[in-house]
Structure 1
Amino acid sequence: YKIWKKNTPFLYDLVMTHALEWPSLTAQWLPDVTRPEGKDFSLHRLVLGTHTSDEQNHLVTASVRLPDDDAQFDASHYDICGKIEIEIKINHEGKVNRARYMPQNPCIITTKTPSSDILVFDSTKHPSKPDPSGECNPDLRLRGHQKEGYGLSWNLNLSGHLLSASDDHTICLWDISAVPKEGKVVDVKTIFTGHTAVVDVSWHLLRESLFGSVADDQKLMIWDTRSNNTSKPSHSVDTHTAEVNCLSFSPYSEFILATGSADKTVTLWDLRNLKLKLHSFESHKDEIFQVQWSPHNETILASSVICSVSEDNIMQVWQMTENIYNDEDPEGSMDPEGQGS
């Protein structure tokens, strides 16, 4: 780590580090960006969560100053002023397994807890400092699961539609927009079954009724909410040789998605023919827990791997060749754009 940190000026335009009080199992950039008048930086915000040692946990929003692209960069200035600042801390029931904001209203943030409940918070209705009593007061409590989990996904095209994956082998769907104003408990709208312990779930980014799920059973399943059969997916495919931990639909192509697995590979798929994998990335050294597409470049895919304590943590960024979408070359070829530790 010390060698990498010493060489960061030669590797990156900007690297900022900040030690959090407690580890966070989740992180997501909020979409709003503030540009103060007369300043050469922009104010960005993050959603975080704590994982404490039996102390009070919190859902957290934080802000960070990032220099504008055309600003003259002063590294020493940002080393002092560019630290993350905690804006809001909301009492939470146990560690925050995952937190995700609703695309149509980023003030609405939902969280996965160590229990079976899903909590929904409106950050505008909570004070910046948490209640000293430690009492957790979510604006909504979603019920339907029997165990905890990690998968959580808001529908980009249907406001209020939320999917959750759980170790209880189910995927739950809620519509919080249909909830009466009174009462905080929301019962599940639909339960989908077909997997063993479900690890991750994700709505399709372009089709409002489609979503995908992956699980310990090594399968990728594609579901259509218009179907009356909630125990049989539209498609089911054996994807990896070990548990599948994550999936991500391409924001640019309605057919392309990626999966990441405990077998140390990231695999690219085409919904038009799930019998054949487009490509498999095999350069990771340990289990893959997250894979994500670049929102700015159609062909860039990033994946992150969490290793054991004795191993390095590695993130790899891949630049795909254009013919990955060409039917004449279904296998596709890819070259790594770079990797950092």
Structure 2
Amino acid sequence: MAPTEPIEVEDDASDAGDDSQVINEEYKIWKKNTPFLYDTVITHALTWPSLTCQWLPDQTSPPDADYTVHRMIIGTHTSGQSNDHLIIAEVLLPKGGMENSGKEVAEMYDEDKQEIGSYTKSPARIRAIQTINHEGEINRARYMPQNPELIATKAVSGDVLVFDRTKHESKANPNGECKPDIRLKGQSKEGYGLAWSTLKEGHILSASEDTTVAHWDIQGYQKKDPVLQPIRVYKGHSACVGDVDWHPMDPTMFASVGDDRQIMIWDTRDSNVNKPQSRVEGHTAEINSVAFAPSSEYLFLTGSSDKTIALWDIRHPEKKLHSFEGHTDDVLQLSWSPHSPVHFASASADRRVHIWDLNLIGAEQTPDDAEDGPPELLFVHGGHTSKVSDLSWSPNAKWHLATTAEDNILQVWEPSRHIRLPGQGDVNAMDLE
């Protein structure tokens, strides 16, 4: 990994000339306003871009320390220039929060490090504590909810690799040899969608560019033969499957979305792998992400290359409840807040991460406010200079998010308490029609 001191990174991948100049100007404006927009910002430059990030569920609080310790999963995308790794990183976050006014927060802003936070005596904020060899870049990495030490990755070969991190050294062997504990076979092309069931231990879904969704139960794995074939391979899509997600309350239900613009709801009890329980053309372009609301039996979101996010009721999939408009490029990833039933975040190729509030749908706006976006758009994070690849909402620090982008930057950030408006209560789906 790169040095632990965050540094500013220019966007070499952007088009030369005007585009690059605009991006850099926007970044300078964001940086200037950072002290007033955030309570915490940690900017960490990675040696290689990471296409994935996910907070691990644990948190420790060292005695007499002014910070809490968290862990995060990231990966590398070296394009063959170096060995690729699955990385477990340690993240230090300041205890409490800032009760300060904008002026006082501004005085705590470190211009060189681009950080806000009362960390002056604490060690490095983000550092690698374990690296594990991986074959090619990691498109996505997710831990198993019932045992977070088990981490599944999407490999470019199409295989899903499962690592028990407790069985691997803290530093990867320089020979680069990848030794997953389980190899899940059954798909012929790479993909990004990867979802563990929160209700059935060991059950995992993978979405692939080969137009399939594969379903494995890793509890069927035998140590003498670490290669596992899928229970089923679902073949309802006619193009690349962009994402999959398990229903949070029904252990037999999952959703898949794809480049064919289709949203499909499946029942694992049905042996017909070619016909979903329901299907609907949900967007006017490719669908890249799907996310069930963790606290709702019926609501789910989809994010699309048509630049919009759609809210759906699973009981009436033919009718979109609401369309969230604000991004200016493909919507790539979605993440519901684990702390609030009304907040979710979206990551886009427009270099932005948006936080949305369902409670504010339809709220009255002044003309000036309307120019900044719809009322339900609560916050815009503009800290990246390239396409945002992944995002993860902290399970422990209520308003902290991690985002990673193609600019090699990993950021951990918390919107200012003066900006965010905590949502209250559940949302009635029928109220949104």
**After TM superposition, is the score higher than 0.5?**
yes
Offset of 1:338 from its aligned partner?
2.2
Q: Residue type matched to 1:305 in 2?
A: S
Q: Residue type matched to 1:180 in 2?
A: Q
Distance 1:42 1:323 in 2: 35
Distance 1:176 1:146 in 2: 19
Going from structure 1 to structure 2, the CA distance change for 1:70 and 1:282 (only over 3 Å counts) comes to closer
Off by >4 Å, runs of 4+ in structure 1: 70-77
How do residues 11-30 of structure 1 correspond to structure 2 at under 5 angstroms?
11-30=37-56
Match of 1:116 in 2: 158
Q: Is structure 2 residue 85 aligned with structure 1 residue 58?
A: yes
Mapped contact 1:150–1:200 kept (Cα < 8 A): yes
Identity %: 49
Q: Is structure 2 residue 369 aligned with structure 1 residue 336?
A: no
- 2:166 is paired with a residue of what secondary structure? helix
Q: Is structure 2 residue 266 aligned with structure 1 residue 239?
A: no
Going from structure 1 to structure 2, the CA distance change for 1:210 and 1:293 (only over 3 Å counts) comes to same
Distance 2:217 2:361 in 1: 39
Q: Is structure 2 residue 74 aligned with structure 1 residue 48?
A: yes
Q: Residue type matched to 1:337 in 2?
A: L
Distance 2:315 2:159 in 1: 36
Mapped contact 2:39–2:98 kept (Cα < 8 A): no
Going from structure 1 to structure 2, the CA distance change for 1:191 and 1:334 (only over 3 Å counts) comes to farther
Mapped contact 1:299–1:322 kept (Cα < 8 A): no
Match of 1:207 in 2: 250
Distance 2:83 2:251 in 1: 37
Q: Is structure 2 residue 94 aligned with structure 1 residue 67?
A: yes
Distance 1:245 1:51 in 2: 20
CA displacement, residues 208-248 of structure 1 (integer Å, 9 cap, x when unaligned): 11000000000100000011211100010000000000010
How do residues 96-115 of structure 1 correspond to structure 2 at under 5 angstroms?
96-115=138-157
Distance 2:347 2:230 in 1: 32
- 1:15 is paired with a residue of what secondary structure? strand
Q: Residue type matched to 1:137 in 2?
A: K
Match of 1:5 in 2: 31
How do residues 303-318 of structure 1 correspond to structure 2 at under 5 angstroms?
303-307=346-350, 313-318=351-356
Q: Is structure 2 residue 191 aligned with structure 1 residue 143?
A: no
Match of 2:3 in 1: none
Match of 1:38 in 2: 64
- 2:30 is paired with a residue of what secondary structure? helix
Going from structure 1 to structure 2, the CA distance change for 1:305 and 1:217 (only over 3 Å counts) comes to same
Going from structure 1 to structure 2, the CA distance change for 1:16 and 1:323 (only over 3 Å counts) comes to closer
Going from structure 1 to structure 2, the CA distance change for 1:94 and 1:292 (only over 3 Å counts) comes to same
For 2:272, which of 229, 241, 247 is the aligned residue?
229
Structure 1 unaligned segments of length 5 or more: list them.
308-312, 325-332
Q: Is structure 2 residue 207 aligned with structure 1 residue 165?
A: yes
Offset of 1:318 from its aligned partner?
1.3
Distance 2:287 2:138 in 1: 21
Distance 2:334 2:54 in 1: 14
Match of 2:197 in 1: 155
Offset of 1:323 from its aligned partner?
8.4
Offset of 1:319 from its aligned partner?
1.1
Distance 1:128 1:78 in 2: 26
Offset of 1:92 from its aligned partner?
0.3
Distance 1:265 1:203 in 2: 22
| Equivalenced residues, count | 328
Distance 2:244 2:326 in 1: 25
Offset of 1:274 from its aligned partner?
0.8
- 1:2 is paired with a residue of what secondary structure? helix
Offset of 1:77 from its aligned partner?
5.1
For 2:306, which of 260, 263, 268 is the aligned residue?
263
Match of 1:321 in 2: 359
Offset of 1:39 from its aligned partner?
1.5
Match of 2:392 in 1: none
Distance 2:261 2:191 in 1: 17
Q: Residue type matched to 1:220 in 2?
A: I
- 2:63 is paired with a residue of what secondary structure? coil
Aligned-residue Cα RMSD (Å) equals 1.8
Offset of 1:335 from its aligned partner?
2.2
Match of 1:272 in 2: 315
Going from structure 1 to structure 2, the CA distance change for 1:157 and 1:322 (only over 3 Å counts) comes to farther
Match of 2:397 in 1: none
Match of 2:430 in 1: none
